[in-house]
A and B are shown apart, each in its own frame.
Chain A
Amino acid sequence: MSTFDIPIGPQHPALPEPLLLKLEVEGEAVVGVNFDVSYMHRGIEKLLETRSYFQGLPLIERICGICNAAHGVCYTLNVEKLYDKEIPKRAQYLRLIVEELSRIHSHLLWLGIAAYEIGFNTMFMYTWRDREHVMDMLESITGNRITTEYSQIGGVRRDIPPELASRLLKVMDVIEERTKYYIRVALTDRVIAKRTQGVGYLSTADAKSTCSVGPIVRASSVKFDVRASDPYVAHDEVPFNVITSDSCDVFGRVVVRAKELLECVNMIRYAVQHLPEGPFRIKLPMKPNAGEALTRVEAPRGELLHYTLSDGTPKPYRYKVRTPTLANLGALRVMLTSKGRYVVNIGDIPIIYGALDPCICCTARVNFVDVKKGKSWIWSLDEIREMSRRGGLLK
């Protein structure tokens, strides 16, 4: 049987991010895939070389709207390593609280999108409603819903006063109760089971060999979480479990993310109740020492890396960012290709792509971004011509 090429994207109604998927299909089954992520290269790495470390912070937060807290923490930790300074314990706990809050909002947002992809719109409405509690808390703590810029070089921007801390604990109670409900739904609902089990299969060996990160590898039963293997802000003091699943499919990714929500809730509770006393920020000079630093942070989508090379001037000589979606593109290619009994149908593409939690905007590891997901597709004029020339391919 001959194969047929279908382009999906870069413009697509389902997601506002420009990724072009070139799919090779044989009948209904996808047998090959290629990407083009070149539509959104913003040159952020180059721009960072023209700004001082302090001026770079607002730019770095804009790599990604959803994981901005992770980028902010990673950048500030990275620069603080150049100064060879440890920030106060209280600032580390405050960073952890805001980072975990943003993980909750990211995972809830993803659960909603995944439910929407499989036609479960009620759950989409529920999760996005609950996400609003978290967004309100983020606004109260940091002053903004999305680009929070909470982490600053030398600490954090504001403290959490006691009355806000007690409100945060109440919100955590709400999120915990709702999350338990979502886990029950995910484990028992027939729609979710039918649409996700055995879909987007990624074996443990493939997950390792493609060097993928985050909930994708943890759903393929690889216990890899930077918070556990390379603790960066008080993760060695705040207890938590690394959630894994051995189902290796989209179902496992749903379960891993839902159970991680409970871990986030427990971490925030522990951090609020054990918040150390002391200052939340120290002053650092404009010029760091010459040297280099490499920082790893577990963003909601997986391992995030920042590397900087300093020559002792107020501006970085080289700044490099690798975002999780870039690391997961290789895994996406494996997941989208039919193998043996795991046939990938065209109708599975949206949920497989969605299960990656792609963020092309930040994927451009360093400086660019891309993304897309496919719900329907558009044939270009050339494709239609080609089809009519060959004739009868759609029989």
Chain B
Amino acid sequence: MSSEEEVFNELKNAFGEKLLDHKVQKRRVFIQVSNDVYKDVVKFLVNSKGIYHLEMMTGTELKDGIEVMAHMGLDTSISIRTTVSKDEPKLPSICDVTVGAEFYEREIHDLLGVTFEGHPNPVRFVLSSEWPENVHPLRKSYVTKHNAPLREGVE
């Protein structure tokens, strides 16, 4: 299997300037790509490089957008990250590339409100049916209210 730098160089040859940034740790590569090639990079890894295993997908709210990361890999873990805007969080679904993405994308939609276009079954996954629409608990604007002590002292 390829080492960390080899993986990055192969992607660099295939996608050139669309790879915005990268970071290498031991057996880990984090690669920032632009929105329009995000799906193509995943497709390239699965179809051309044989890295079929999608480990997980992470969604994170950053200051200037919502970051979606797809972690792929068997021995070296390659994380493909891209940032979508908070006003209109949309990204193409990668379910037709790898079936394993279905539950991860539904989870990110529930918790952060990112819409995955072309998802085969975009219904609720982790939030219960009583949870209000358009409230996404992993957004930083959602503040948990139960950190206060359960009971006030006797007055």
Contact = CB atoms under 8 A, between A and B. Distances in A.
B74 A229 contact: yes
Contact of B125 (A38, A212, A320): A38
B52 A330 contact: no
A364 B103 contact: no
B54 A211 contact: yes
B52 A305 contact: no
A326 B100 CA distance: 10
Given A296-B77, A365-B107, A368-B126, A209 B138 contact: no
Contacts of B77: 230, 294, 296
Given A229-B75, A330-B102, A365-B107, A39 B128 contact: yes
A318 interface: yes
A330 B54 CA distance: 12
B98 A43 contact: no
B9 interface: no
A307 B102 contact: no
A98 interface: no
Interface in A287-329: 292-294, 296, 303, 305, 307, 309, 317-318, 320, 322, 326-327, 329
Interface string B91-118: 0000000111011100100010000000
Contacts of B102: 330
Interface stretch (A45-53, A277-285, A350-358): A45-53
Contacts of B54: 211
A231 to B, nearest CB: 9
Contact of A210 (B99, B104, B129, B144): B99
Interface of B: 25, 27-28, 30, 52-56, 58, 60-61, 69, 71, 74-75, 77, 79, 98-100, 102-104, 107, 111, 124-129, 137-138, 142, 144, 147
